[in-house]
Amino acid sequence: MNLTEEQILTLAPDESSKKSGKELANPSKWVTKGANEQAIWGECQGSGSKPYQTQIDISNLAFKCSCPSRKFPCKHGIALGLIYARQQNLFSHSTVPAWVNEWISKRSQRDEKKAEKKDKPVDEAAQEKRQQAREQKVSDGIEELLVWIRDIIRNGIINIPGKGYQYWDAVAKRMVDAQAPGLAGMIRGLSNINYFKEGWQTNFLDALLNIYLIAKGYLNKELLDPLIVQDVRNWIGFTIGQDELKEKQGVKDTWLVINKHISDEDNLTVERNWLYGIDTNQYALVLQFIIRGQGAGILLSPGMCIDAELVYFPSVSPQRALIKNQTTVAEKTPNQLYNSWQDVAEAETIICSHFPVRSERAYVIKQLLPVHFNNAWWLKDLNDDIISIKDGYNKIWKLLAFSGGNALNMVVIGKENSYEPVGVWDHQTYKPV
């Protein structure tokens, strides 16, 4: 594969990584540089005594680096790719280092195991037995969870703010034991509520009610629509085989990557990529779960446009999807936008009518203006209706710099009455905030 500067810079996870990568793309800062038909590698001298070992699998475009960064690719990977794109003659073709061979070999073995697993006949009887055992575990755990919820309501919530993290964690661990990790996450979320903020009672009861609805929905799944059952199972933590999903027909479009959010959860790096379909006006959330050192399966960056086929996971209001195939293309601007907050509220109402428990969603809205009112920041639409910016939003000054006092077409992520601005269009160019 011939790497280009544009291709490497498009893969940068954010603007700071792109800038740092450009600064490091100086051959004099690299102790060694090598390449063969499958990979390129190099050692970059950092602040420590031992240089960082960076490598790129150019056959499948994957990155790995020994630096502590959790970004994919990190600034070293971007820099190495830029140097290779500019001056391939600087890369020696000597013996491949052991640390490069080891990584390439592990990737090859992983691919082989996936192929073997795919070709291996499935023991359907054993699979059914394991499934039934898990279903029973989940049911037993939920029965205990419902008793716990009833006790909270019976005793009242006045003492809830005094509960420590251990109180919630104990119940969450029981859900993990019951093989319901999604419920465990929802319960731990109760400990993150700001119990010192006015109105905490509403936030707490809303979150507790969502847990209750999922739990009761699972126990009464025989009475529900199959797609609603699938949503309930997704919230509980049941997974869907992606190989089987990829066999289904997807939605083909030019997709704009409108946001990327990276977090660490249970020793995994979780990457949330929000996409917007230019022609279909559909939104999608593509998740990646990355084990440290392995690198991401797909590389997406805010502002990137791809021609791709996306397959949605089963749901009454599809949002999560996987990418079946993709090709990077030139940026395009949206054709359809929400005209006002009233339009967003109507869309939210429809989603809620289908399934009341829901996570945040993305919206592309026409001409929003950040305004300061009542000691808080809001987003005002063309009808002068305002919605609050999400608590803890720390990029307001960057948003104001883009705005310059003018309304802009904007991407927001959130739900109900609180949203976070994540990108704007400035002179027809998408700018992540």
Domain that holds residue 292: 242-329
Q: Tell me if 298 is assigned to some domain.
A: yes
Q: Is the pLDDT of residue 385 over 80?
A: yes
> How confident is residue 116, by pLDDT bands cut at 50, 70 and 90?
low
pLDDT at 293: 53
Whether residue 298 contacts residue 323, with contact meaning beta carbons closer than 8 Å, is answered with: yes
Label residue 47 exposed, middle or buried (CB < 10 Å: 0-12, 13-18, 19+).
Answer: exposed
Share of the chain above pLDDT 70, in %: 95
Query: Is the domain of 22 the same as that of 75?
Result: yes
What is the Cβ-side half-sphere exposure of residue 167, based on CA atoms within 13 angstroms? 12
Separation CA 290–CA 55 (nearest Å): 17
Separation CA 125–CA 118 (nearest Å): 18
Chain segment 177-205, per-residue pLDDT in tens: 999 999 999 999 999 999 998 899 999 99
pLDDT at 179: 95
Greater confidence (70 vs 288) lies with 288
Query: Is the domain of 141 the same as that of 51?
Result: no
In CATH, what number is assigned to the domain containing residue 286?
2.40.50
Choosing from 275, 295, 329, the residue where a domain stops is 329
Query: Is the domain of 185 the same as that of 209?
Result: yes
Q: Which amino acid is at 78?
A: I
Greater confidence (385 vs 331) lies with 385
Q: Tell me if 299 is assigned to some domain.
A: yes
pLDDT at 117: 61
- The secondary structure of residue 92, as a DSSP letter, is B
pLDDT at 122: 62
Mean of pLDDT values over 113-122: 64
Query: Is the domain of 272 the same as that of 317?
Result: yes
* Element holding 122 (H helix, E strand): none
Choosing from 288, 304, 329, the residue where a domain stops is 329
* SS3 (DSSP) at 291: coil
Choosing from 119, 138, 159, the residue where a domain stops is 119
Q: Tell me if 335 is assigned to some domain.
A: no
pLDDT at 331: 83
Whether residue 367 contacts residue 409, with contact meaning beta carbons closer than 8 Å, is answered with: yes
Chain segment 360-371, per-residue pLDDT in tens: 999 999 999 999
Query: Is the domain of 229 the same as that of 307?
Result: no
Alpha helices in 120-252 (DSSP H): 124-155, 165-177, 181-190, 200-219, 226-236, 242-246
Query: Is the domain of 83 the same as that of 11?
Result: yes
Greater confidence (244 vs 353) lies with 353
Q: Tell me if 279 is assigned to some domain.
A: yes
Query: Is the domain of 271 the same as that of 354?
Result: no
Whether residue 62 contacts residue 77, with contact meaning beta carbons closer than 8 Å, is answered with: no
Label residue 121 exposed, middle or buried (CB < 10 Å: 0-12, 13-18, 19+).
Answer: exposed
> How confident is residue 421, by pLDDT bands cut at 50, 70 and 90?
very high
Query: Is the domain of 10 the same as that of 115?
Result: yes
> How confident is residue 46, by pLDDT bands cut at 50, 70 and 90?
confident
b/e burial code for range 299-315 (CB count within 10 A of at least 16 → b): bbbbbbbbebbbbbbbb
Chain segment 12-25, per-residue pLDDT in tens: 888 888 899 999 99
Greater confidence (23 vs 270) lies with 23
Over its C-alpha atoms, the chain yields an Rg (Å, rounded) of 24
Chain segment 279-330, per-residue pLDDT in tens: 999 999 999 887 665 556 677 888 889 999 999 999 999 999 999 888 878 8
Separation CA 197–CA 310 (nearest Å): 41
pLDDT at 118: 60
Q: Tell me if 13 is assigned to some domain.
A: yes
Range from 95-109, 275-289, 387-401 carrying the lowest mean pLDDT: 95-109
pLDDT at 345: 96
> How confident is residue 267, by pLDDT bands cut at 50, 70 and 90?
low
Q: Tell me if 336 is assigned to some domain.
A: no
The total number of structural domains that make up the chain = 4
Query: Is the domain of 36 the same as that of 84?
Result: yes
Query: Is the domain of 232 the same as that of 273?
Result: no
Query: Is the domain of 226 the same as that of 315?
Result: no
Chain segment 103-115, per-residue pLDDT in tens: 988 888 877 676 6
Q: What is the mean pLDDT of the chain?
A: 90
Query: Is the domain of 264 the same as that of 364?
Result: no
Mean of pLDDT values over 248-275: 88
DSSP assignment of 30-84: EEEEEE-SSEEEEEE--SSSSPEEEEEETTTTEEEESSS--SSS-HHHHHHHHHH
Mean of pLDDT values over 327-340: 87
